[in-house]
Structure 1
């Protein structure tokens, strides 16, 4: 299973080690992985081990608010240091695989470096690197671990009838509370259309922090309209290009096409809206939405475009991003 959601890395090193230990245990037939030593004990380059699986694991939690280039150099040094410790202070464990697991994103350079430093040092065990994307994929296959460390995650979603009930109730709630916006065209609204959209996992607001997909954890967008999927927000004004056969593109084509000014509307699913605050805060007085950013680090499940060109509105009002056709 390859997920398209984004889970925030944990920010406590010991909790991260515990997560990885539980994750390995749930993904193996025999749960034999254990934390190695305690605080104050020499860990000899090992955080977790399994005699049965002949494996040792070194966990490296990184502060993702720091410069990525610095973090990358730091992790290279960590990998070498781990191998040096294992070779210099042989633990009384039998193992033939070393896992390096980290909250940093995947990068082929890390895999290549693991193999290069292994050969350079004459380190016999296999060295396997897991970045945060690999950890997420493994988490997607668990039932217990995901619930313990990510209780808000939708993978173990409630039964279908509960999901439908939540969607309908959220839609009705938004219709009631946002009527002064949704019942009027943008130009005729008496209230500012700008809203603030937060990830429920963001801990740094009002500072801007980016997740492992390099996406912001909060941003502004103009409330637009409801659809069957959820609540739409205008996230940009762009040009789209309409061909004679009805197809269109957002990339400027070489061939002749009609240029149309359009609003890009991105939709947050009702089930991904956890809560909202109509009154805002001291930073932004407009309503704030708190959402799950489970779709490649973003909260949106659908994108379409609304025609803003008065000369062509009567012909085509909306443009579907999936079919590349107007409707």
Structure 2
């Protein structure tokens, strides 16, 4: 990814304010900020970028989980992707929760009330299992009900500290749960990870068009900051009755749903996740739905999607549509 941050509403081919061509490139002609950009002294790269790249050099696969809007199940998916990957005892998995204002990962993963500990090598993650560690701003709050009322610079500073100072050790997968949208935190993450080896982003949506509108913006954001896209997951694609296990549509896709949107956008479609009421109960109780309800159609769908993500990571990511499925064996 480019370390030169370009606003998401910038004109096409804008070189960005940190570029040597700022205010001088052909695309700058007619821009109201052209003189300001041309006369500004270019800022040196943030030294934290290299420090973060060094810290994450021990991570084999880094995956960002994004969503265009809130309430689509991004953190729930992140937690269960982590549980699924960690079901292989030979793999070390980390979850970094950078949703500063809405840190739900501690509750979903059964870690509420835990605290962060420091060692000589940095902040130590809180462990769910021996091979599954978690870091979240939720561990820094006095109470789960405390609001994080911070302006952008302070939030971005914590994101930098999380990326630079958490001691993950040698791990196979680092999952980064981000806040919804394409704003301050996302630009900071893109900048700070510009020299790190990132497999790509998994984008979560629901079937209705109001959610897909924001997902298209998320795809556009990823392309503008040169972030690879592993694919799109359609969450809450239907409702599964826990008794008869039949599925009915909750949000009928008026424009073809996430699968058609992914095909139109030229990105992979990773699969559909039906909604099982027991999933919400497991999240409230901090348990893994995959092990608590192994016979649910939602669990089988999770397995297929996790297998698809592993497959794409192992082959270096993908942005072309792919309908193949690889089921993962989850104990």
Q: Would you call these one fold, judging by a TM-score over 0.5?
A: no
> Higher helix proportion, which one?
2
**Which fold has the larger relative contact order, with Cα–Cα distance below 8 Å and residues 6 or more apart in sequence?**
2
**TM-score of the pair, normalised by structure 1:** 0.26
> Higher strand proportion, which one?
1
**TM-score of the pair, normalised by structure 2:** 0.26
Larger radius of gyration: 1
